[in-house]
Structure 1
Amino acid sequence: MKKAIAFLLLLVFILQTFYASAFTVWFYANRKAIAQKHCINKNRPGLKCDGKCFLKMKMQQTEQHQDEEAPLHVKQQLEGSPFTPVADTPALLIPLNASSYNSGYRSFYQYRHSPSIFHPPLKA
């Protein structure tokens, strides 16, 4: 059951990812039929459209559909970061000839070495 669900989700993900490429391949495979049925410019053969207008229209619809589904804002990160900004000064305000570099972040990493536990093996 888990394999079937995993396969179904993988199939949906692949279809969503490669929809535009698959539609383009389908378009070039059926170009003559599309030019006869769906081409907007079939009354003007001098343009040599051959259904490209239909392909362009479908690609724009796909992009609009993807833009509607995309979130409008980025989720805020709820978990804490190992580095906390000390100041909100941009990095461009730090002079280039400064003798010491202050990154603007405070590290909360602490190193506690215990020589009683971590040591090389003793020779007998």
Structure 2
Amino acid sequence: MRTIVIYWLLLTTLLPTFSQWGIIAHYQLNKAYIARVLCQNRDKPQLHCDGQCYLAKQLKARQDKQDKETTERVQSTPVLHLFCQPHVPFLFRPTWVSLVLANFFSYHLASPVACVTSLFRPPKR
């Protein structure tokens, strides 16, 4: 049972990789029908298209679908910030104003280590 699950997960993981090969295999198996019915250039036998236009269109459609799915997946992925940066505004003051205000205000710059230690604590016994 375990090997069946492993093979199933492997197959479902690798299936999008083999989708282009599936399109090519379908083309090779049905080449005569595609050249006779689905080819855009079936009225021009001198081009020797033999349904390659249909194959190119199918491969391009599959690639566009994969690109769209990838773009949607990337845009919907949440962003997780794993760092903490203190917000320190830059204030420009002339020197005589900062001398007067130095007695009234003080700034405490939090270190990034304080942010991390507040998140991660050892277990309590």
Specify the code of the residue in structure 1 equivalent to 2:51: G
The match for 2:61 is 61
TM-score, with length taken from structure 2: 0.52
Q: Percent identity?
A: 28
Instruction: State the Cα RMSD in Å.
Output: 2.7
Q: Across the two proteins, how many residue pairs are aligned to each other?
A: 83
TM-score, with length taken from structure 1: 0.52
Structure with the higher helix share, 1 or 2: 2
User: How far off its partner does 1:14 sit?
Assistant: 2.2
Is it true that 1:15 corresponds to 2:7 in the alignment?
A: no
Distance 1:78 1:34 in 2: 52
Distance 2:38 2:78 in 1: 41
Note the residue ranges of structure 1 that are not aligned, 5 or more in a row: 81-124
Instruction: For residues 25-79 of structure 1, give each alpha carbon's deviation from its aligned partner in whole angstroms, at most 9, with x where no partner exists.
Output: 3312321121112111101111111000110110011011101110445875644
Structure with the higher strand share, 1 or 2: 1
The match for 2:25 is 25
Note the residue ranges of structure 2 that are not aligned, 5 or more in a row: 84-125
Structure 2 SS opposite 1:21: helix
